[in-house]
Structures are given as structure tokens and as C-alpha cells.
Amino acid sequence: MTEAPASAAHAGTIREIAETRAAVPGALLPILHEIQDQLGYVPDSAVPIVASVLNLSRAEVHGVVSFYHLYRRTPPGRRTIYLCRAEACQAMGARDLEARLKEKLGIDFHETTSDERFSLEPIYCLGNCACSPALMIDETVHGRVTAERLDSLLEEG
Amino acid sequence: MAGDTLRIYVPNDTAARSVGADAVAAAIERTAGERGVAIEIVRNGSRGLYWLEPLVEVAVAGERVAYGPVTPDDVPGLFDAGFTTGGKHARHLGATEALPYLSGQTRLTFARAGLIAPSSLEDYREHEGYRGLEAALAMDTQAIVDVVKESGLRGRGGAGFPTGIKWQTVLDTPGTQKYVVCNADEGDSGTFADRMIMESDPFVLIEGMTIAGLAVGATQGYIYLRAEYPQAIRTMNTAIAAAEQAGYLGADVCGSGRAFHLEVREAAGAYICGEETSMLESLEGKRGMVRYRPPLPAVKGLFGAPTVVNNLTTLATVPIIFVRGGEFYRDFGTGRSRGTLTVQLAGNIKRGGLVEIAFGRTLREVLEDFGGGTATGRPIRAVQAGGPLGAYIPTSQFDTPLDYEAFAEIGAMLGHGGLVVFDDTVDMGQQARFAMEFCAIESCGKCTPCRVGAVRGVEVIDKILSGQDEAGNRELLEDLCGTMVDGSLCALGGMAPFPVLSVLKHFPEDLVAR
Ligand SMILES: Cc1cc2nc3c(=O)[nH]c(=O)nc-3n(C[C@H](O)[C@H](O)[C@H](O)COP(=O)(O)O)c2cc1C
Ligand code: SF4
Ligand code: FES
């Protein structure tokens, strides 16, 4: 991956986020979360900066970023759709919903539409299993999602 | 309570909002304005009767009356029917507490869920809140641990380990710094009890953790909270700030001279981080690799210090034990499963929701009496209990009582209490495949049987389903499951084979070429 041109501007932000939290016990995850909150993802350029602030090796920081499913390594689309793939949602048609969603968006999981409107991610349970199938768009959870409801959610986008 | 303003309760819980509670609240607000009716909308938590959400309640003569499920389009009609004073309407359900789904439960841990506004410390205090801490503050540390032991409380996170014994170990282990960690990772499909507590009654968790801190001499607590629950994160942070403000948390808890600080730590979407040692690694800022044990976390846990790690529902059950006494709690239940079990009815179920009952009722009773059968109206074919590592239970075993030991006897587990229901259209071959796929995605990678075995498991199942040497590959699958069960360090690799083996045993007709 080539770095986004904005990475120089990001560097200052990333350093500041890391420095203000460096003294927190177990600071790495809170720092990565804050970077993702502010930038939408954790750019590769963040790894050496965070490593130097926390006195860790780059390999250690990279290992953490890549271990956790919810850290993004690339910029997201305008909205991110998290589709629940877990069992309670499967029991209520999540597999069909997944096929429909991928077809409508023309992308697979971990991809972003070419117009950058949507990114699509799998998620394993939103705690909405009594109102399944469920999905989350950014931070808004939707339950009892039918094919029609899915279509209208995409249109509202 | 003010006499004039009408109070209308519209849940602010994630599940209620996921099916339109915000739009209903807005419609009520708008319609009341148009008609000049003075109302106050209270955004309460959920009662856990999710099939009725959005469930709107009104207070009539000191009693709550329910309407549900309400859509925004219903709202003008509800006003026409005089619902603000309990008027009859197609959505009218009668007194909330008299609904059989609720009156048939024993709400101890979830007594306040849906009753109060989760943002209000005052509301919490008016409903027995902080009475448990008050009692605990008058005891010495050993006496606090003894009450928990007496209650018979066992961990609700899956393994069912006696909570009092765990606390005793932490109390007895010397250390200048100790920790209390709440496991709010709730990764199992079919479970939402922990989320419901955080969103409906967050102070009960804070109170329970504070009591745990007093019991073992810990001054710092962490709530490791899954990132998939953004609303729970907000609610908990708000509640912690309010508790600090009121002196229930901080350097001097209620003027006792004892400190307890509490902080939410957001997880990052790895199922394995629900395993307690992986969770501790994550809290330390590392990859969530499972630790070898011993040492136990109770002896050498977070940052090497003695640490209580408990599930959220376990900790939220502590306050009621201190309000009513250990004996009161122990009197519910059966055998070695004391107190109440939080069943979560999920998936293809007509009346999905949270059912808190004493241990000992049968699976069938819960599925039928509370659940009402499937949502699709077709026969139930299988129930997965205890999350993605739990066996698929066939209807022939539905008379098994809900208790830890009885479930273990049929090769199943209660785990965190989630029951995921499937009707007769389910393809059990696909369910077996998913169990292996999930393990492959979520493996921490530390041991080979899990890391490699799960990937192989998916391949072998694919071969069976596509008709390549079916008999040979079924045998291979059983061998592979055995290797994973015997050779894995933790229960992810060690138990992911259970759903697969249960399909081989109870639904072999689905593991064939198609
Ligand atoms: C793979 C795996 C995932 C787990 N996930 C959770 C979880 O999400 N929540 C939880 O409370 N316990 C989970 N546990 C159990 C914890 O390791 C631990 O037993 C529990 O937090 C102890 O609390 P308790 O005694 O109050 O149940 C998991 C265990 C394993 C092996
Ligand atoms: S069984 Fe799997 S998840 Fe558990 S320690 Fe081994 S590799 Fe990690
Ligand atoms: S399984 Fe989809 S929300 Fe829980």
C-alpha cells in the first residue's frame, strides 16, 4: 500500500494522541482507538510514531494493530456496514442478507465501494440476538432486518 | 413524584432502538405537542421483553401499563385511545408486571432493568441502589467474602467457578496493588444480558465492582467492554462519572477512607479476548494471546498483580446478595446451581428476550412457555446453548433441566445462558462448518491443534459436503476434533469441536454430499 498524501499532517495528530496517553497503564489499545476515532483508520505510518513514543518495537505495535479485527488499516468509506454473521442471526436469514448485501454493493467483506460510500465488515454478534438478523451502520444498530429494510437503508446511505 | 405531568417510558436500549424506539419517542413528543398534552418522556432501559419492543409504558395510579410493539404510525391512535391514562388500544398489554413473561420470572439481578432511567443515580438509589455497598462497608474483608461464599454464586461467564472462592484467593494473596476486572466482552452469539445491564442498570455493575474491590483490597477496576457495544460504552462512562461525582467512586468511597477507581477499556473485536488471560494481555496493551496457567489471574493477573476477573452478570448480582443476604440468594436454584440463571432466548424464537429464573426448569419449558416456539412458526430442530463453542441440542434432549451439571451430562453447556433456536429449515452441515470457520478466524494462534486444526476442519467438512470420500473424511473429522479437544491450550480450540461433534452425533443426515 502506498501512503496517503495526508500522512504528514496525520503524523502530528498521531504523535499528540500517543504522547497524551503514554503514561496510561496499557496505553497501546486506547491510543490506537483514538487514532481510529480521529482518522477513521490506523495508517501504517502510525506504527513507528506510536512505537517510539511508547518505547516499543515497531514489530510489537504492528503485531497489535494486526491482531485485532476492528482496527482498520485503510481509510473507510463514508459509512461502514457491520453485518452480523453469528449464529442467532444465521437462524433468521443472515446468510441471505449477506449475499444480497454483497451483490448490491458489488464488494466482499473488508472492501469499500468504488464510490467510497460504503465499507463492509463482518461482525460476530451485536448483542441484538432477540431481534435478529442485525447489522450496524457506523454506530447505529438495526434489528429484524428484512431484504426490503436493507434496500432502504442502503438508499438512505 | 409530580402529580400532573404524565410520564411515558420509551426504552433507550440498543435492541429497542434497533427496531424503532427513537422514532416512536419522537412521534409521541410531536403528537403530544400538537395536542397540547403535557408529558415527560423517560428513556428507560429495556425490560428484556424484546419481541414486544418498542415497548412503551405509562404510569397510571402508581402502576406501569404497557403498549407494544408500538410503531410511529400507532402513536396518533394511541393518543385517541387515551393511552396516557391507560386507555384501551390494540397495542394495550395491561399492567407490565402482570405480563406472564415477566411475572413468571424471578428478577433478582435484573430487578431494575427497564424500571428505571439508567442515567439517573437518584432513580437507582430510590430502588434499593447502593444498599448493598452500605452493608458491605460495615463488614471486614473476610466477612464480605464469606457472604459471597454463602450465597453459592458461581461465575456467569461460562465456567461456573464459585465466585467466593476466587475472591478468597485474591484476598489471601499479598500485594500492594490489586485489581478487579469486569469481563464485558460478551462474545457469545445469543447473549445480551451483559449489554442489557450496562444499558438498563449501569450503577448495579459499578456497585458490584466496588464491593469486590473492598472485599479483596483492590483500588482499581477495569471494565473490558466490547467495541461492538458503542451505546453501552457511553452509558457506562456517563454512570461512572456520576458515581465519582457523588462520592461512590474515587479516593474515598462514601467517606470510608477506602479508594476504588473505575475505568472502561474498549476492546477491539477479538473473540478470544473474552478468555480471561487473553483479556488481561489486551488490557496490558498487547496482542490477546492466551497465557499458560498456573499462575491463576487471582494470584498473578493484570500487570502481574492479584486480580479478580469476573463476568459482568456475576458482578452485577453481588449487590442484591448484600441487600438480602447470602442465604436469601442460595435458596433459589437446584443442586450446586444456586440462585438465578439468566436465559437469553435468541435466533428463531417467537418471544425472544431475557428470562431470569431459578436454576432447574427444563429447556423445553423455557422454549415453549416463555419462547412460544419459533418465530417462523415451523418446528424447532435444534438449539445451540452456551455460545459458538456449545453443542447443538436436538429436541430429544429438551427435557434436560437448566443447571450446570445436568447440561454437562449431555455433553452440552449452559455457558452464559444464551439459547439460539433454529427451525427445521436449518442446514446443520453449514452450522458445523461455521463452528470451525469461526474458530479459524478467532484463534489466537498460540497452539497448533487450534490454529491449524480449525482451518483443516473447514476443508474436511467442505469435502464431505461436496461428496469426496465421505466416510473417510467423516472419520478424519472426528479424529481432528479429538486432537483439538485434547491438544488445545484454551476452550476456543478445545471446545469448538463440540458443536461439530454434536452435529455428527445428532444430525448425521445433514453431514452428507448434496
Ligand atoms: C474463548 C473464550 C471466550 C470467553 N468469552 C467470555 C466472555 O465473552 N465473557 C465472559 O464473561 N467470559 C468469557 N469467557 C470465560 C472467561 O475466561 C472467564 O472464565 C470468566 O470471565 C470468569 O468470570 P466468572 O467466573 O464470573 O464467570 C471466555 C472463555 C473462553 C475460553
Ligand atoms: S486453543 Fe486456540 S485460542 Fe486457545 S490458546 Fe490455543 S490457539 Fe489460542
Ligand atoms: S448473533 Fe447477530 S446480534 Fe447476536
Cell 472426528 locates to B478
| Residues ≥6 apart with Cβ < 8 Å to B380 | B348, B367, B373, B374, B395, B421, B422, B423, B424
In A, minimum Cα distance to B302 occurs at A26
Check pocket membership of B283 for ligand 1, CB cut-off 6 A: no
Confirm or reject contact between B109 and chain A (CB < 8 A).
no
Check pocket membership of A119 for ligand 3, CB cut-off 6 A: no
How many Cα atoms are found within 13 Å in the side-chain-facing hemisphere of B123? 19
**Is A77 in a helix, a strand, or coil?**
coil
What distance lies between CA B154 and its chain's CA centroid? 14
Q: What is the mean pLDDT of each run of 10 residues along chain B (514 residues)?
A: 76 98 98 96 98 97 96 98 96 97 97 97 98 98 98 93 98 98 97 98 98 98 98 98 98 98 98 98 98 96 98 98 96 88 97 96 97 98 97 98 93 94 98 98 96 98 97 97 97 97 97 91
pLDDT the model gives residue B79: 98
Check pocket membership of A141 for ligand 3, CB cut-off 6 A: no
| Residue B408 in grid coordinates | 454437562
Judged by CB atoms within 8 Å, which residues 194-223 of B form the interface with A? 194-195
pLDDT per residue as tens digits for the range B218-252: 999 999 999 999 999 999 999 999 999 999 999 99
Rounded distance from Cα A126 to ligand 2 centre (Å): 23
- For residue A133, say if its preceding peptide bond is cis, omega within 30 degrees of 0: yes
Partners of A60 on chain B (C-beta within 8 Å) are 286
Confirm or reject contact between B483 and chain A (CB < 8 A).
no
In A, minimum Cα distance to B270 occurs at A68
Q: Do A33 and B268 touch (CB under 8 A)?
A: yes
> Is 0.90 surpassed by the pTM of this model?
yes
Check pocket membership of A131 for ligand 3, CB cut-off 6 A: no
**Is B60 in a helix, a strand, or coil?**
strand
Confirm or reject contact between A28 and chain B (CB < 8 A).
yes
CA dihedral (B365, B367, B370, B373) positive or negative: negative
CATH class of B6-103: alpha beta
Check pocket membership of A126 for ligand 3, CB cut-off 6 A: yes
pLDDT the model gives residue B4: 64
| Residues ≥6 apart with Cβ < 8 Å to B234 | none
Cell 479508594 locates to B259
The answer to whether B327 touches B363, Cβ cutoff 8 Å, is: no
The answer to whether B419 touches B346, Cβ cutoff 8 Å, is: yes
- Is residue A1 pLDDT above 60, yes or no? no
pLDDT the model gives residue B5: 80
* Interface probe with A: pick from B13, B14, B344, B381, most Cβ of A within 10 Å: B14
Helix axes B448-465, B428-442, angle to 10 degrees: 150
pLDDT per residue as tens digits for the range A107-136: 999 999 999 999 999 999 999 999 999 999
Backbone angles phi, psi at B128, to 5 degrees: 70, 5
CATH T-level fold of B121-330 = Rossmann fold (3.40.50)
How many Cα atoms are found within 13 Å in the side-chain-facing hemisphere of B256? 21
Please report which confidence band the pLDDT of residue A6 belongs to, taking 50, 70 and 90 as the band edges.
low
pLDDT per residue as tens digits for the range B333-390: 888 889 999 999 999 999 999 999 999 999 999 999 999 999 999 999 999 999 999 9
- Strand order from edge to edge, sheet including B179-184: B261-266, B220-225, B179-184, B307-311
Cell 450446570 locates to B404
Judged by CB atoms within 8 Å, which residues 224-253 of B form the interface with A? 227-231
Task: Just give the CATH number of B333-423.
Answer: 3.10.20.600
Partners of B227 on chain A (C-beta within 8 Å) are 33, 70
Q: Do B192 and A68 touch (CB under 8 A)?
A: no
Separation CA B117–CA B10 (nearest Å)? 10
Rounded distance from Cα B205 to ligand 2 centre (Å): 30
**Is B92 in a helix, a strand, or coil?**
strand
Percent of chain B with pLDDT over 70: 99
Separation CA B54–CA B21 (nearest Å)? 5
Check pocket membership of B445 for ligand 2, CB cut-off 6 A: yes
Check pocket membership of A89 for ligand 3, CB cut-off 6 A: yes
What's the maximum distance between 2 C-alpha atoms anywhere in chain B?
Answer: 76
Check pocket membership of B44 for ligand 2, CB cut-off 6 A: no
Rounded distance from Cα B275 to ligand 2 centre (Å): 10
| Residue B212 in grid coordinates | 469486590
Separation CA B367–CA B379 (nearest Å)? 12
**Domain residue ranges of chain B, discontinuous segments joined by +:** 6-103, 121-330, 333-423, 428-510
Residue B116, burial from CB neighbour count under 10 angstroms (0-12, 13-18, 19+)? buried
- Ligand nearest to C-alpha B271: 1
| Residue B477 in grid coordinates | 473429522
Question: Which parts of B33-178 are beta strand (E)?
Answer: 39-42, 56-60, 63-67, 92-95
Choices 1.20.1440.230, 3.40.50.720, 1.10.10.10, 3.40.30.10: CATH for B428-510: 1.20.1440.230
The answer to whether B254 touches B247, Cβ cutoff 8 Å, is: yes
DSSP state at residue B104: T
CATH T-level fold of A79-156 = Glutaredoxin (3.40.30)
- ipTM score of complex: 0.96
**Domain residue ranges of chain A, discontinuous segments joined by +:** 8-67, 79-156
The answer to whether B154 touches B199, Cβ cutoff 8 Å, is: no
Q: What is the interface size between A and B, counted as CB pairs within 8 Å?
A: 154
Min distance B148 CA to chain A CA atoms (Å): 29
The answer to whether B228 touches A125, Cβ cutoff 8 Å, is: yes
**Is B495 in a helix, a strand, or coil?**
helix
**Is B472 in a helix, a strand, or coil?**
helix
At residue B76, what is the residue type? Answer: P
Backbone angles phi, psi at B307, to 5 degrees: -140, 130
Partners of B233 on chain A (C-beta within 8 Å) are none
